[in-house]
Amino acid sequence: MTASRGISGGILLLLAVGWLAIAPRASAGQDGAAFRIEAPAASALIGAGELVLVDVRGASEWAKSGVPRGAEEISLFPSPGITNENFIDQVLAAVGGDKSTPIAAICATGMRSSLALKILKQNGFTAVYSVAEGMLGSKFGPGWLRRGLPVEPCQTC
């Protein structure tokens, strides 16, 4: 983004800091394909229109805690033990068919978002990240909710 598109210097600085926060960092024990983004950076980038966040939890979780503001509600496992066979098509629709659009996945504690990231990369998405601290927190951070980041009611529940 440039200032000519109407973004103030403060927002440009915030975007720069956000992109620094998603600099690729391989997760321990992974093949190097997994990258993490911290929840505050994801929130800022969503607000600036620079990142699509996909909440891969299920409807009961969305209804209970809310959904990160601006996130797409695309469950990886809509029911226990049932995989969403349309997951890739739904994510592709959320990014307008552009597999190079920066995408981050979030779940409760980072497990499903890491799996979603791997699946997306295997299907040709090139800029994918995991909010590894999730909504509830993990070893990677306190989580979206404890950080007090914005949530909104589930739109599909």
Give the CATH number of the domain where residue 41 resides: 3.40.250.10
Q: What is the number of structural domains in the chain?
A: 1
Question: Rg of the chain's alpha carbons, rounded to an integer?
Answer: 15
What does the pLDDT look like over 35-48, one tens digit per residue? 999 999 999 999 99
pLDDT for res 80? 86
Residue 6 within any structural domain of the chain: no
77 burial (CB, 10 Å; 0-12 / 13-18 / 19+) is middle
Residue 38 within any structural domain of the chain: yes
Residue 32 within any structural domain of the chain: yes
pLDDT for res 2? 33
Whether the per-residue pLDDT at 10 is higher than 80: the answer is no
Q: What is the mean pLDDT of residues 124-132?
A: 96
Residue 117 within any structural domain of the chain: yes
Tokens of 122: 């295997």
Residue 115 within any structural domain of the chain: yes
pLDDT for res 81? 86
* All residues at 6 or more sequence positions from 123 whose CB lies less than 8 Å from its CB, including other chains: 88, 99
Euclidean distance between CA atoms 154 and 63, whole angstroms? 6
Euclidean distance between CA atoms 21 and 42, whole angstroms? 9
What does the pLDDT look like over 46-90, one tens digit per residue? 999 999 999 999 999 999 999 999 999 999 999 888 999 999 999
| Per-residue confidence band for 98, with pLDDT thresholds at 50, 70 and 90 | very high
Residue 157 within any structural domain of the chain: no
Cα torsion angle, 59, 75, 144, 142, sign: positive
Which range of residues forms the domain containing residue 55?
A: 27-152
Residue 2 within any structural domain of the chain: no
pTM for this prediction: 0.79
pLDDT for res 19? 38
Residue 109 within any structural domain of the chain: yes
Euclidean distance between CA atoms 112 and 134, whole angstroms? 9
Whether residue 65 contacts residue 145, with contact meaning beta carbons closer than 8 Å, is answered with: yes
